[in-house]
Chains A and B, each alone.
Chain A
């Protein structure tokens, strides 16, 4: 099993550009999450999904959109990137409501200039 994979690993955007980050998991997990990690601020939840076709807002959703059309994929979109979105983005998943521990992807480092 590949676990949780993220594409791309690195990206540099100019302000106003758009992009989509892809998260894929091959563990048949129901729940998927997008976090951002900034120095000294731990991990903050952007959006999450409790199953295929569902999405919900987390703690810091502004400027981001998500989709979960297939159970194994969770896409994070930035419609108009801003320098404040420079961060490391982590996708995570968990199997079911009975399993609370998360499996994380390797992260995407995004820089917006």
Chain B
């Protein structure tokens, strides 16, 4: 079956530090890959996505590249802000099987001033 493994947290960084949150996946075929972000007390929001190998998703300074050879989709940001403090979820989904998504366990990021 499908699975997503995320870097364990929590992650604590100082403002303007470089962020990497690792995500690897196991899936058949060619899934689409996603990063969702959950701010305190809210639901998840789509942060970025990539639908095929070598695609780069980007949004709000965050980037992730779909690497089929390493089955990875690591999230990066060059300079984090306090407002980036949240829980980040990596996920995958296929066009088949009702498009059900498989989520990682989430990584909590805290950015200190």
Bound CA–CA A56/B100 (angstroms):
11
Q: Are A102 and B104 in contact (CB under 8 A)?
A: no
Given the interface pairs A40-B105, A42-B89, the reply to whether A107 lies near B99 with Cβ below 8 Å is no
- Measured between beta carbons, the chain B residues less than 8 angstroms from A107 are 42-43
The count of chain B contact residues (Cβ–Cβ below 8 Å) is 22
Q: Which residue of B lies closest to A43 (CB)?
A: B103
Instruction: Spot the interface stretch: B12-20, B44-52, B62-70, B75-83.
Output: B44-52
Q: Is B73 an interface residue (CB 8 A)?
A: no
In the complex, which range does the number of interface residues on chain A fall in?
A: 20 to 34
Q: Is B93 an interface residue (CB 8 A)?
A: yes
Of the candidates A92, A101, A103, A107, the one having the most CB atoms from chain B within 10 angstroms of its own CB is A101
Report which B residues bind A (CB closer than 8 A): 32, 34, 36, 42-46, 49, 51, 89, 93-95, 98-101, 103-106
